[in-house]
Structure formats: C-alpha cells, structure tokens
Amino acid sequence: MSGPLNAKQALRSRLEEQLQKQEEEQRKELLRKRIEIAKEGAKLYHSGKVGEALKYYQRYLLILELWKKCGRDKLGPEHFDKTKDVYELVLISGIYWDLARLYDRGKRPHQIAELNNVLRKFVIFSKGFSYQPLSSEALRRYLGSGKCQHSTEFKAAYQELSGDKCFIATMTLPELNWDSYERLRLKRDRMKEHKISSWVVRGYERYSPGMVGFINSNFSPKQIAKIRTILRVLLERVSRFV
C-alpha cells in the first residue's frame, strides 16, 4: 500500500509545484506588462472611455500592490526607489490624477469617499518630488476650469501641494469663490516685486499663521464658521478692487 500512496503523494507534489511555477510566471508576465496596461488605461481615459480606463488603472495598481506585497490600497512612495523609479512614480501620480477627475463626477457617498482616497494618493505621490509644482498647477487649473464638482476636496489638495502662505485666504478656501482667491493670490505675488509692499507681504506671511492658529484654538466651531463667513465676504469685496 505504501508504494501507490507514495506515488500519489509524489504526483500531487509535482502538480502543486507546476501550478506554483505557472502562477509565478503569470505574475512575472503581468509585472512586465504593467506599464503597457497603465498606458492603455491613459489612452482610454483621454479618448473618453472612462469606464474601460478605470478597469485598466485598477488592474495596474493591483499588480503593483501584489508586487510590493503592501496590501490593498497601501501603496506608497516608500515602496519605490525615488531615484531609479521616478518614471513610474510620475506615472502613478498621473493615474491618481485621472482617477480624481473621474470620481469627481460621482455624487454617491462611496464615490466621494473614493475621490478623497485618490486625491490623498495624488498628494502623497506628488509631494516632495520635482514634479510637485506641476501637480499643484494641474489642481489650480482644474479648480479654475469650472468643471470641478467637489471643490472643497480639490482645494484642500491644492492647499497641501501648493505650499501657499496666504493663510487667511486659505482659511476661507473651502467657501471662498475661486476667482476671488486667484485675484488675491496674483495681487500678493505682484506686491512681492516691490520693496515696500514686499515687506508688508513678509509681515503678513510671518504673523497670519499665528492668527489662524489662535482662532482655531480659542473659538468654537460655530464661532469659526462665522469668522470664515466674515472673512469670505471681506476678501471677495477686496478682490474686486485688485
């Protein structure tokens, strides 16, 4: 009896080994094709086939998660070599940017939750890299395009990536009209070009964070909401004359 049993076990072991090798080869083949998959997703997205693009993007990100063994939705820049893998890091950032604009169209709670998630990933895969200014500019242009549906979420991402020091305006950014914010930002930048007005801007940038911190620490949420409303109205009026 031991002979047939041992032969059966040996056959089972060989079959399991073959299956493991096949699975490993399939994983390697997917890894080799991941860039092609991502590029095809981008091609579909920019041709308006967003549903199909989403499938390709999700497949690409899943391959990376399996490759890096980081777990679902745990992929981060720390899983890559920031010098050698810069091309792939730019690609990932671009994919999260496409996904953010895709989910911006949604209105259901799970779609908005996914929007927040991909925007967070877009920020993570942009912040601290040489292309951060480009990511910030993409957000700025999208916010000013009139296409943005969930401006609060996109403005928060812009604030984090832009490093904007216009703290009082930024405090009201979720409610402030974007055109008003842009006019104020441009006026501030022009003031920096002149000796006296640049001194005023430097003083403002130095002390306004403390003002915002004091407000956030010493006032209730209801009081802060009222202060934001007053600031918003004031800033929008001021922006008409700059």
Mean pLDDT across the chain, nearest whole number? 83
The pLDDT of residue 53 is 94
The pLDDT of residue 118 is 96
Question: If you write DSSP's letter for every residue of 138-193 in order, what string do you get?
Answer: HHHHHHHTT--S-HHHHHHHHHHHH----HHHHHTTTTS-HHHHHHHHHHHHHHTT
In this structure, is residue 201 part of a structural domain? yes
Q: What is the CA radius of gyration of the chain?
A: 25
Residue 122 structure tokens: 């877009």
User: Is the pLDDT higher at 219 or at 95?
Assistant: 95
Give which of 131, 41, 32 is closest to 87, Cα–Cα. 131
User: Is the pLDDT higher at 172 or at 129?
Assistant: 129
In this structure, is residue 212 part of a structural domain? yes
Q: Of 30-39, 48-57, 158-167, 199-208, which has the strongest mean pLDDT?
A: 48-57
Q: What is the C-alpha separation between 163 and 159, in angstroms, rounded?
A: 6
In this structure, is residue 44 part of a structural domain? no
> pLDDT class for 164, splitting at 50, 70, 90?
low
The pLDDT of residue 7 is 62
The pLDDT of residue 205 is 72
In this structure, is residue 54 part of a structural domain? no
Residue 114 and residue 106 in contact, taking contact as beta carbons nearer than 8 Å: yes
Q: pLDDT by residue (tens digit) across 137-155?
A: 899 889 888 899 998 899 8
The pLDDT of residue 204 is 74
Instruction: Find the mean pLDDT for residues 7-13.
Output: 66
First to last CA, the chain: 95
In this structure, is residue 200 part of a structural domain? yes
In this structure, is residue 170 part of a structural domain? yes
Q: pLDDT by residue (tens digit) across 100-109?
A: 999 999 989 9
The pLDDT of residue 149 is 92
Question: If you write DSSP's letter for every residue of 202-234 in order, what string do you get?
Answer: HHHHHHHHHHHHHHHHHS-HHHHHHHHHHHHHH
How many structural domains are present in the chain?
A: 1
In this structure, is residue 221 part of a structural domain? yes
Name the phi and psi angles at 91, rounded to 5: -60, -45
Where in the sequence is the domain holding 206, given as residue range(s)? 166-242
Residue 50 structure tokens: 């967003």
In this structure, is residue 106 part of a structural domain? no
Q: pLDDT by residue (tens digit) across 25-60?
A: 766 787 789 999 999 999 999 999 999 999 999 999
Q: What is the C-alpha separation between 117 and 100, in angstroms, rounded?
A: 9
Q: What is the C-alpha separation between 34 and 28, in angstroms, rounded?
A: 10
Q: What is the C-alpha separation between 12 and 171, in angstroms, rounded?
A: 66
